Structure 1
C-alpha cells in the first residue's frame, strides 16, 4: 500500500490484517538460507563488521532477535511485538521519495546457533516486489562479529518494474540503514534483558 500522507494506525492495522494469510509472491522459498539466488534475480550482498568478541555477538544477536535492524529514520517496523519465529508476518512503514509505503513480509526460516543468528523473510502480495532477504549476525573463528544482509530482489508491481534502477538504489540505502541500526544497537546496548 502506498500513500502520499503518513498512514494512520487504523490504516496500518487494516493492511496488517489482510496480510496474515496471503501467499508469498515467489516460489524459491528458502534459497537465501544457502546464499543462493534464482537465475532470474539479482543477488544483493551487504556486510558490516559490528565488533568482536562474545559480548558483542550476544548484543548483536539480541538486537536481531528483537528486530533491531528496523530502527531507522525511514523504515519502521509496525509489528515490533512479533516473536522471532517462522510464519510471523512483519509489516514495515517505509518513507521514500515523498511517499509512504506499508509492506509485509513473512519469516520463512529462523536459525539460532552458538555463533550465528539468522532469519529470512519473503514478500507477500501487498508488496511491490517479489523478493527474499536474509538477515544474519555471525561471529567467525577469529571473534569478528558481522551483520550480513543477502537478498534476491525482483520487481512485481508494474511501477516497480518501471523504476528498477530507483528500487535498487533504495535497496542499497535500506541495507546501509539496517547496518547502521545494528551498529547503534550493539554500541548502545545496556545489558538489560532483551534488546528494546
Structure 2
C-alpha cells in the first residue's frame, strides 16, 4: 500500500492487468496514460481532482481555436485531416426570434446541452476563456472523467442586423481519451431562425480510444443528437 502525492490520506492500491496499471482511490481509478474513471457518478471534488491532475492541452497549438471556423473552411484546410483528425458536426433548428436566441445562449452558458442522464458538466462552471472543466460520461460500468479547457468564447451581434451568434470551444487536456476540440454555438440567422450547432475534430489519444474508435465516433454522433434534443426540450419548457 502506498500514498500518491497530491491526493488525500486515503490509501492508493496499484495492480497490473494486461500491462495496464490501475490505481484506485475510494471509487476512482486511473488507467496508465492519465485516464480518469469512477465507479459512481463523480462528485464536484472528484471532478476538481481530475482537472487538477490533467496538465496541458494534448493537441497541437496551431490547431487551437480552429473550431471557430465553419465546417467547410476546416474541410478545405487539409491540415487537420492530414494530422489524423476526423470531424463531427450537427446543426439543428431549435426555434425562431431574438427571445429564443437569448434563451438558447443562456442554456449554453448553463451547460443545458449536457443535461443528460449519462453525460454532464458541472452547471456552475463559468463559460470563460481559460476555464478548465470536466465532462463526465457514463460508459458501461464506470464513469469517464474527461478534462478540457475553454479556448475561446465569441459573441457576434451586429447592431444594424438581426443576426447574432454565441459560441465557445473546448480543447482536450492530458487525461482525455481523445485529442481535439469541440465547439457549441447558438445562432440567429438572417431569416430569424435559431440554430444549435456542434462542431468538433478529434483523434484517439489513448490505447482505449484507438481500440474502440469506431464506437467512440458513434457515441459522438449519439451525443450530438441527444444534446440537440436536450436544448430543444429546455427551450420548449420555457415557453409553457
What is the TM-score when the length of structure 2 is the normalising length?
0.73
Change (3 A) 1:167 1:59: same
Counting only pairs closer than 5 Å after superposition, residues 51-70 of structure 1 correspond to structure 2 as 51-70=95-114
| Shift in Å, 1:7 | 3.8
| Shift in Å, 1:12 | 2.8
Any conservation in 2 of the 1:59–1:185 contact (CA below 8 Å)? no
Unaligned runs of at least 5 residues, structure 1? 192-196
Residues 105-132 of structure 1: CA deviation (Å, up to 9, x unaligned): 1000101122100000110101011010
What is the aligned counterpart of 1:168 among 193, 212, 217?
217
Task: Provide the rounded CA distance (Å) in 1 between the counterparts of 2:51 and 2:67.
Answer: 25
The question of 1:34 aligning with 2:69 is answered yes
| Shift in Å, 1:190 | 6.7
Q: Which residue of 1 aligns with 2:154?
A: 111
Q: Which residue of 2 aligns with 1:89?
A: 132
Q: Which residue of 2 aligns with 1:25?
A: 58
Poorly superposed stretches of 4+, deviation over 4 Å: none
- The number of residue pairs the alignment matches comes to 188
| Shift in Å, 1:8 | 4.7
Task: Provide the rounded CA distance (Å) in 1 between the counterparts of 2:185 and 2:95.
Answer: 14
Q: Which residue of 1 aligns with 2:46?
A: 11
Task: Provide the rounded CA distance (Å) in 2 between the counterparts of 1:96 and 1:34.
Answer: 31
State which structure, 1 or 2, has the greater radius of gyration over its C-alpha atoms: 2
Unaligned runs of at least 5 residues, structure 2? 1-35, 158-163
Task: Provide the rounded CA distance (Å) in 1 between the counterparts of 2:45 and 2:198.
Answer: 31
What is the aligned counterpart of 1:49 among 93, 103, 114?
93
RMSD after superposition:
1.8
Residues 34-70 of structure 1: CA deviation (Å, up to 9, x unaligned): 1326112111110111011111111111111222211
- Greater RCO (Cα-Cα under 8 Å, separation 6 or more): 1
